[in-house]
Amino acid sequence: MGNSQWTHKQQTSAKKMATHCNMTIVNMGAFAADNAAVLRATLQSPNRFCDASNKSSTYQVIWDSGATISFSLHRQDFVGPLVKPSVRQRLQGIAKGLNVEGHGHVLWAFHDTSGRLHLLKVPAYYVPKCRVRLLSTTSLLQTYAVEKITVQAHCLTLSGIASDATRGAVVAEVDPRNNLPTSTAYCYSDAMAEPQALKLTVSTVNAKDMNL
């Protein structure tokens, strides 16, 4: 097993990486986050792990029961093709009058009540001049028909699916600044960066046959 005594630098790195793992728990299939070999390999090459990891980009998403479709001002929120409208389209409601530059699907990652990332992929408009991201709860329930939404005075809750660990309940607290349910979302590509960094670290360390 090699040297079993950790240096102060290794202990500090271990604490930091444990914190990141707890904050960003995702379904990685056979590559389990609690795999001892993964943690050991990561500790063997902390600098490579840190270099490969990206801090997740966070932003606020408003959950709107009155909107017929979701929209975002950022192109990177969209996955798959983004189609330009054949005729000029303008939004109504919270973003009234703004032009729609395209339509496709956004993929947003939210923390559920157990701390895991719950991914939502819904139809959406690309509206670069809008100042907010908006999630249409009507469109959401049409896309995920087995889930339900309950509304209370202080929050909105998406039920999730009890039998699916990747579909935990998501709570959107009412923001007192606009009186609308709002939650923090994570850029999908950045949220996936840390597990990918772990895989990269393991592959590199195994190739070099390093030991603690």
* Per-residue confidence (pLDDT) for residue 85, from 0 to 100: 80
Whether the pLDDT of residue 193 is over 90: the answer is no
* Per-residue confidence (pLDDT) for residue 162, from 0 to 100: 92
- Residue with tokens 């600044």, as numbered in its chain: 177
Q: Where do the domains of the chain lie?
A: 8-55+191-208, 58-190
Lowest mean pLDDT among 83-92, 114-123, 140-149, 186-195: 186-195
Whether the pLDDT of residue 203 is over 70: the answer is no
User: Quick one: pLDDT band at residue 58, thresholds 50, 70, 90?
Assistant: confident
Task: Report the distance separating Cα 169 and Cα 103, nearest Å.
Answer: 27
Average pLDDT of the residues of the chain: 74
Name the strand (E) or helix (H) holding 188. Answer: helix 188-191
Q: What is the pLDDT of residues 100-159, one digit of tens each?
A: 889 999 999 999 999 888 999 999 999 988 889 999 999 999 999 999 999 999 999 999
> Which residue would you say has higher pLDDT here, 125 or 38?
125
Q: How many CB atoms lie within 10 A of CB 65?
A: 14
Bridge-partner residues for 143, per DSSP?
Answer: none
Q: Tokens for 74?
A: 């950022």
Report the sign of the C-alpha dihedral through residues 61, 94, 128, 91, in that order: positive
User: Quick one: pLDDT band at residue 14, thresholds 50, 70, 90?
Assistant: low
Task: Report the distance separating Cα 194 and Cα 59, nearest Å.
Answer: 18
* Per-residue confidence (pLDDT) for residue 11, from 0 to 100: 58
What predicted TM-score, i.e. pTM, was given to this entire model? 0.64
Whether the pLDDT of residue 210 is over 50: the answer is no
Whether the pLDDT of residue 35 is over 70: the answer is no
* Per-residue confidence (pLDDT) for residue 191, from 0 to 100: 54
**Which whole number is the average pLDDT over 58-64?**
94
Task: Report the distance separating Cα 37 and Cα 28, nearest Å.
Answer: 15
Written as one string, the DSSP assignment of 101-139 is -EEEEEEEEEE-TTSBEEEEEEEEEE-TT-SSEEEEHHH
CATH class in words for 58-190:
mainly beta
